[in-house]
């Protein structure tokens, strides 16, 4: 469950690429970004593979490495819906604590080992107990076992509405059991996926070269004969690779370079995976009494000009919002995006009604590299009497301080998880990672319980109710949904993934 994420994993998922600062790497000038069927696909990635072992796999910007060589139990559609894959069908018991999956019987790993339910069970448990920063996604799994060679049974400690999503990500990756304890498991993956890593041509940390798996069970999903993943961590190396015709596509590290990439003939495929704004964390007023007043938190929402913030900070690349749930969620309500229009006079009135007509001091961290947004926050809040005092620090220190908790509020950027249960457990519930004061609210607890245990209709209504309640109580002050972009050349079609920083590999294809 997302509430158990470590600070290390939050650094990757929460801030995404917005604050990344990595050294350059040389791009591959020997390949061809042919978009024709059967040609070569050369993709830029912003990070090298942390590991090639399925049990310890990371996701997000490392998902292409995993999807090249491993199959998952289920596929996720572009809008995040679980679809049959290695598991052809599934069902839950009455209380949603036992998931039974029927598996394919025609799949073999590249070392010739058959894929079976016993192998699948071992992979699920190994991931749960592994070192991946996402291992806690399977924390609800009590056991996994084979009922028969093609029937997998996963038993949960409690219902987890996000389980099928996790099994479509790194939690469901399938590795050959012969590779489990191999000495080279971290550098030589053995899966049943569409490609095989060519270690003789791979330069670890820089370039990863793959060849087509000749015995792949789903050949229609193999859109290219060869795949290369080239590490291009910053705007300069990415722009150079595009100008030199060295890549087919890449995930843009610096959104200010998108215009240059489009001018070079590449098409931008936008996605909005994160929201950015203020975390109003001390909702009980234990550290700063003013923050315990709902009218003060509402005043902060009225005080920020979201449209101006989007233009000044993100150059207009994004969508103004007043809620932290994505548009694909049953919790999303378009009306909530305009519940707090920019109205400084209304904000001052609420401050006065709350007993803070003369304002108050508010300490906040200033994360290195975010001066523009924090200067604007200081100005807008100063206009209604709130004096912001900043302490500058690097991102890792800021995350530690926010979660300690050492601050009643902070600017931040967080992901919009694909399910309401995931998002609630990460940002809202009493023990959520980004509820560091562990504010307990009976309305939140009731809605979260219904989301977890209710049928689909009841869960969807509870998600919508939860969103409305959180906006009414001004637990956050969202500014806008952050736009990211994947760019691809004229020969390539891309479908973005609603729940991942990188498009899923099978959704990058040659144009017909």
Q: Which two tokens stand for residue 380?
A: 């807008």
Q: Supply the DSSP symbol for 22.
A: -
Beta strand pairing call for 249-251 and 71-72: unpaired
Residue-level pLDDT at 48: 94
Whether residue 70 contacts residue 84, with contact meaning beta carbons closer than 8 Å, is answered with no
State the DSSP string of 120-139.
Answer: HHHHHHHHHTSS-TTGGGGT
Place of tokens 């209504």: 461
Residue-level pLDDT at 3: 32
Residue-level pLDDT at 135: 93
User: What is the chain's pLDDT, residue by residue, as a tens digit (512 residues)?
Assistant: 233 333 333 333 344 333 332 223 233 333 334 333 579 999 999 999 999 999 999 999 999 999 999 999 999 999 889 999 999 999 999 999 999 999 999 999 999 999 999 999 999 999 999 999 889 899 999 999 999 999 999 999 999 999 999 999 999 999 999 999 999 999 999 999 999 999 999 999 999 999 999 999 999 999 999 999 999 999 899 999 999 999 999 999 888 899 999 999 999 999 999 999 999 999 999 999 999 999 999 999 999 999 999 999 998 999 999 999 999 999 999 999 999 999 999 999 999 999 999 999 999 999 888 899 999 999 999 999 999 999 999 988 999 999 999 999 999 999 999 899 999 999 999 999 999 999 999 999 999 999 999 999 999 999 999 999 999 999 999 999 999 999 999 999 999 998 898 999 999 999 98
Whether residue 384 contacts residue 348, with contact meaning beta carbons closer than 8 Å, is answered with yes
Angle at 337 between CA 452 and CA 371, to 5 degrees: 100
Contacts (Cβ under 8 Å, ≥6 apart) of 219: none
Report the C-alpha gap between 145 and 120 in whole angstroms: 8
Residue-level pLDDT at 130: 96
Fold of 273-483: Dipeptide-binding Protein; domain 3 (3.10.105)
Contacts (Cβ under 8 Å, ≥6 apart) of 81: none
Report the C-alpha gap between 307 and 232 in whole angstroms: 32
Place of tokens 């003060």: 296
**Is the peptide bond preceding residue 72 cis, with omega within 30 degrees of 0?**
no
Contacts (Cβ under 8 Å, ≥6 apart) of 439: 283, 284, 430
Whether residue 78 contacts residue 496, with contact meaning beta carbons closer than 8 Å, is answered with yes
Contacts (Cβ under 8 Å, ≥6 apart) of 401: 365, 393, 407
> Where do you find CATH 3.40.190.10 in the chain?
2-20+32-266+489-510
> Where do you find CATH 3.10.105.10 in the chain?
273-483
Whether residue 467 contacts residue 235, with contact meaning beta carbons closer than 8 Å, is answered with no
Residue-level pLDDT at 37: 52
Whether residue 164 contacts residue 156, with contact meaning beta carbons closer than 8 Å, is answered with no
CATH number of 2-20+32-266+489-510: 3.40.190.10
283: nearest Cα among 462, 445, 447, 436: 436
As a whole number of angstroms, the longest Cα–Cα distance in the chain is 74
Report the C-alpha gap between 220 and 506 in whole angstroms: 10
Whether residue 432 contacts residue 4, with contact meaning beta carbons closer than 8 Å, is answered with no
Handedness of CA 461, 465, 468, 471 (dihedral sign): negative
Whether residue 416 contacts residue 388, with contact meaning beta carbons closer than 8 Å, is answered with no
Rounded-to-5 percentages of helix, strand, coil across the chain: 35, 25, 40
Place of tokens 């998922």: 13
Report the C-alpha gap between 436 and 442 in whole angstroms: 17
Report the C-alpha gap between 103 and 88 in whole angstroms: 6
Q: Which residues pair with 508 in a beta bridge?
A: 494
State the DSSP string of 327-346.
Answer: TTSTT--GGGGGSS-S-HHH
Task: Answer left, alpha or beta for residue 503, where phi above 0 means left and psi between -120 and 50 means alpha.
Answer: beta
Q: Which residues pair with 363 in a beta bridge?
A: 389
């Amino acid at each position: 469950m997302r509430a158990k994420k470590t600070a290390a994993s939050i650094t990757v998922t929460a801030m995404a690429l917005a604050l990344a600062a990595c050294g350059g790497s040389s791009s591959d000038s020997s390949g061809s970004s042919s978009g024709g069927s059967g040609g070569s696909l050369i993709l830029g990635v912003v990070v090298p593979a942390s590991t090639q072992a399925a049990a310890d796999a990371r996701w997000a910007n490392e998902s292409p490495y995993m999807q090249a060589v491993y199959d998952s139990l289920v596929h996720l559609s572009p809008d995040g819906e679980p679809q049959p894959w290695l598991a052809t069908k599934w069902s839950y018991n009455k209380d949603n604590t036992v998931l039974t999956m029927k598996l394919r019987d025609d799949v073999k790993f590249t070392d010739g080992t058959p894929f079976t339910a016993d192998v699948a069970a071992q992979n699920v448990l190994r991931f749960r107990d592994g070192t991946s920063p996402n291992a806690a996604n399977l924390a609800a799994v009590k056991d996994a076992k084979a009922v028969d060679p093609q029937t997998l049974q996963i038993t949960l400690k409690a219902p987890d509405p996000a389980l099928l999503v996790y099994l479509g990500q790194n939690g469901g990756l399938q590795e050959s059991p012969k590779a489990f304890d191999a000495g080279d498991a971290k550098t030589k993956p053995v899966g049943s996926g569409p490609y095989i890593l060519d270690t003789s041509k791979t330069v670890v940390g820089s370039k990863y070269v793959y060849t087509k798996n000749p015995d792949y069970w789903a050949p229609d999903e193999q859109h290219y004969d060869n795949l290369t993943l080239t590490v291009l961590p910053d705007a300069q190396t990415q722009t150079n690779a595009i100008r030199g015709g060295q890549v087919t596509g890449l995930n843009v590290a610096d959104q200010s370079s998108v215009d240059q990439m489009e001018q070079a003939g590449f098409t931008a495929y936008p996605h909005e995976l994160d929201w950015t704004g203020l975390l109003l964390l001390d909702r009980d007023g234990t550290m700063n009494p003013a923050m315990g007043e709902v009218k003060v938190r509402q005043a902060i929402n009225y005080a920020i000009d979201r449209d101006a913030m989007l233009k000044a900070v993100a150059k207009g690349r994004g969508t103004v919002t007043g809620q932290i749930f994505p548009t694909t969620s049953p919790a999303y309500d378009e009306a909530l995006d305009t519940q707090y229009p920019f109205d400084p006079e209304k904000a001052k009135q609420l401050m006065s009604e709350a007993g803070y007509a003369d304002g108050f001091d508010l300490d906040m961290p200033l994360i290195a590299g975010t001066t523009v947004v924090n200067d604007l926050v200081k100005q807008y809040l100063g206009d209604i009497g709130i004096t912001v005092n900043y302490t500058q620090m690097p991102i890792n220190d800021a995350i530690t301080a926010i979660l300690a908790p050492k601050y009643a509020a902070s600017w931040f950027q967080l992901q919009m998880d694909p399910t309401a249960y995931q998002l609630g457990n990460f940002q809202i519930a009493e023990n959520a990672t980004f509820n560091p004061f562990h504010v307990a609210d009976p309305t939140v607890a009731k809605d979260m319980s219904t989301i977890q245990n209710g049928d689909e209709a009841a869960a969807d209504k509870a998600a919508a109710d939860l969103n409305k309640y959180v906006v009414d109580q001004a637990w956050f002050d969202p500014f806008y949904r952050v736009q990211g972009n994947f760019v691809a050349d004229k020969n390539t079609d891309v479908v973005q993934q609603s729940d991942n920083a990188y498009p899923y590999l099978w959704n990058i294809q040659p144009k017909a």
